[in-house]
Structure 1
Amino acid sequence: MQVNSMYYNYYNKEGRYTPNSPQTPAWKKIYEQSEDKIKSSNENQDSDTYKGLVKLENYYYELGVLNRAKYSTYEELQNALSQKYLSKNSIYANYSYQERRAMYDNELNMSAFGIATNLSDPILGAVKGESDEERQNFNRQSVTNQINNILNKNGIDINSLSLVFSIDKDYNLSVFNLEDSTLALKISSLLNENNNAKEFFTHILQSLRFNGVNIDEDILNKFHLHRELVNITGFSLDDFHQENGQILNENGQNIIDIFNEYLETTDKVPNEFKGVAFSYFKSLVDSLANKDLNQIADLNLSIAYENGVLKDLDNEEILNKNISILT
């Protein structure tokens, strides 16, 4: 029987995310296929890892339903499964500790949260994981296909063209190295829809990290500070200036105070994670407060497209505002 488990904090376990209603688990979102929208991270459903996760879901789903009907608290559930898998008298005593721990984790997490993801579970046998290179190649091909699909559906074929996609810190995508400015504008307009540019930006950044491109820490911190500020407050880092070691707006309000004020009332961050979000934001401010933000480049990313293939550019090309390939 094919089942469809959903993430939920069934026992209201403190410290775990509690959505208003059951949600698609993170591992399923990773493996969701997209054809007409860019998705930054794409995983292969033909992989042993995906097949193993589906098998775990099918195996533990009914056990989770039964356990939630039987045990009224998380502690009761935890104690019962500890006896079942980890005690000296366990019927699974002949399995290794790693295997017993995996079974314990999977039944506990499926019962309490609707997920089972420990691949050391003996019901799977040996799971052959994909290499990082195989995953990267699959992901890159998927993103390329998604771009082509978006454009092909609108009568545009760029397989024979050589161009450069450039995306700024606000996820505005532009097309360069294309003589037909009307076509360039049409391509950029399509790829700026439906969160495509943000996903494309994230894909480029992930690819650079995979390839070992070393982007300056200050540039990354400035970017993350800007994005956190925009996401929570709607303000841009460009709306602020530095004065006496502080980052202030035109009214003299400190950036940390403004962020905290908006964070307290936003529903974009679950209440149980607001403390973490504030600490992270403050750490970014502290890392940059005594540095001249105007002298730190914005993280504007670019990637080439040649003969139907996306081609990464190196760090110097990405961070140089006057890169030759764009002129």
Structure 2
Amino acid sequence: MNEVNKTFENPERHIHVKYYNKNSPYYIEDMTKAERDIASHQEYSYLRNNKLSSYNSNDAVLRDRAPVFFDVEIAERKAYNREKVNEQFKQLLQLRGIEIEKDEKLTFTIDPYRYKVTVNGTEDESLKKKIEEVLETAENSRELFYHIVSSLSADSSQYSTDKSMKQAVIRAVSDATGYYLNELNVVDGRFVTEKGEDVFEIFEKSIKEDSSIPEFSKGYIITGYKEDMDELAQRGIDNVGDLVLSIEYENGSFYDIAQSENFGTGKTDWIEQMQKAKIIEYEKNKRTEEQDTEIINSDKFTYKEVQNKLIKEILEITGYDLNNLERKDGRFLTGEKEDIFEIYKKELLVEHLIKELEESKIDYYGEMLKRFAKEDNFFIGKDEEKTISLEKDTWIDNKSASFLNNDIYG
């Protein structure tokens, strides 16, 4: 679309006429007012910046596509990865001639520093030893450790930021120096070797001499891990928990523990349920947006509709309910005598990034506030059926009116 627009002498004018000039041969039929506003904004943005700064799921070009929910996508990807790991582990067992009996539930626990695996849940010591050997060969245990990390959900009781920080710095120092901080002593706030050498100095030297690390990154790496090492030394390394991770295995699949999300075979129905719930919510919100659009595009607005829209907008952005504010000299004032419009304007400019949309929206609601602050019957319920012709009023133009629809900000 952008390339086609640029073939015209005046690309911006072409964008305008194809969405708003019904007499133009380029006019596009079968679009709602909201879709025209979205499409024109997207194309203006692309033309000016050669990229999209944002996108709107209600864009007409996406009309026939199912909505995309990124948390559902992430969950589906994790479930897919789990099936692949299951297949790989089965192949490892088959190659070694190891057979785990049906319905036997095992728990694999992995040390976060040397990636040593412990198998629990079986009294067969021979089986236990064989599985541990398989996992500790060719970094299989390390791969399984990070697969568990990538499968952790937000409510996992196995994880914490402190544990993660400790694991990361110990592994980084070990990879660079061969020393494990959790096996060293702390002297004068520094981790030292048996010979009394400062481990950080060894680490720093190793990073500086590592040709595989870009020069511009070395300073950040050294500084970042120095801070973490100092924190561990100060707090006492044993006073920070270890990121020891466990996962269960049964009937050919790994199963997550100590969290609400499970990506094991037969345990992923919750992903489908989450998607169904999101689709229902999406359709509900879409119907609401369409109803709002119908109101915007009509010649007449009921007094109550305009009033409710104003109250809702101000409450969502500022936290203040207009019903509870003082009205004076055409302004709504808080208990501290602050002009609610100034608060609204400041909050909106902080919250949103699309400047041209913000300004039109601010202008629209600013005029709305001025008008209703002066009206004595603003909150009189009997006037619900009173109608106001907004399109004919001088205090609103078509550009501002289009931004009353919240889906513009999608």
Confirm or deny a common fold (TM above 0.5). yes
Aligned equivalents of 1:298, 1:190: Cα separation in 2? 24
Task: Tell me the equivalent position of 2:144.
Answer: 200
Matches within 5 A, 1:239-250: 239-250=183-194
Change (3 A) 1:92 1:256: farther
Q: Partners in 1 of 2:51 and 2:177 — Cα distance?
A: 38
Q: Is the 8 A contact 1:92 1:100 kept in 2?
A: no
Q: Tell me the secondary structure at the aligned position of residue 289 of structure 1.
A: helix
Q: Could you tell me whether the CA contact under 8 Å between 1:165 and 1:304 is conserved in 2?
A: yes
Report the TM-score when normalising by structure 1. Answer: 0.56
- Distance apart, 1:239 and its partner CA: 4.4
Q: Is the 8 A contact 2:107 2:120 kept in 1?
A: yes
Q: 1:257: how far off? A: 1.7
Number of residue-to-residue matches in the alignment: 219
Does 2:42 match 1:96?
yes
Whole-Å Cα distance in 2 between the matches of residues 144 and 178 of structure 1? 20
Larger helix percent: 2
- The reply on whether 1:148 has 2:94 as its aligned counterpart is no
CA distance in 1, matches of 2:232, 2:82: 33
> Superposed, which structure 2 residues align to 1:308-319 within 5 Å?
308-314=252-258
Alignment of 1:72-111 (within 5 A): 96=42, 100=46, 104=50
CA distance in 2, matches of 1:97, 1:257: 55
Q: Does 1:135 align with 2:81?
A: no
CA distance in 1, matches of 2:124, 2:109: 17
Change (3 A) 1:272 1:292: same
Could you tell me whether the CA contact under 8 Å between 2:249 and 2:255 is conserved in 1? yes
The answer to whether structure 1 residue 158 and structure 2 residue 100 are counterparts is: yes
Query: What is the CA–CA distance in structure 2 between the aligned matches of 1:98 and 1:151, rounded to whole Å?
Result: 58
SS at match of 2:80: helix
CA distance in 2, matches of 1:151, 1:99: 55
Deviation, 1:301, is: 1.5
- 1:245: Cα distance to partner? 2.5
Residues 255 and 262 (structure 1 numbering): CA distance in 2 closer, same or farther, change over 3 Å?
same
% identical equivalent positions = 27
**Which among 195, 204, 207 is matched to residue 251 of structure 1?**
195
Q: What does 1:183-262 correspond to in 2, within 5 Å?
A: 183-213=127-157, 215-262=159-206
Looking at structure 2, the residues matched to 268 and 172 of structure 1 have their Cα atoms a distance apart, in angstroms, of 27
RMSD of the TM alignment (CA)?
A: 3.7
Conservation of the 8 A alpha-carbon contact between 2:181 and 2:191 = no
| Counterpart-to-counterpart distance in 2, 1:210 and 1:144 | 23
CA distance 1:92–1:223, change in 2 (3 Å): farther
Aligned residue type for 2:229: V
Query: How far apart, in 1, do the equivalents of 2:45 and 2:183 lie?
Result: 54
Find the counterpart in structure 1 of residue 110 from structure 2: 167
Instruction: Return the alpha-carbon distance in structure 1 between the equivalents of residues 248 and 220 of structure 2.
Output: 37
- Structure number with greater CO (CA < 8 Å, separation at least 6) is 1
The corresponding residue for 2:393 is none
User: Judging changes above 3 Å, is the alpha-carbon distance between structure 1 residues 96 and 247 closer, same or farther for their aligned structure 2 residues?
Assistant: same
Higher Cα radius of gyration = 2
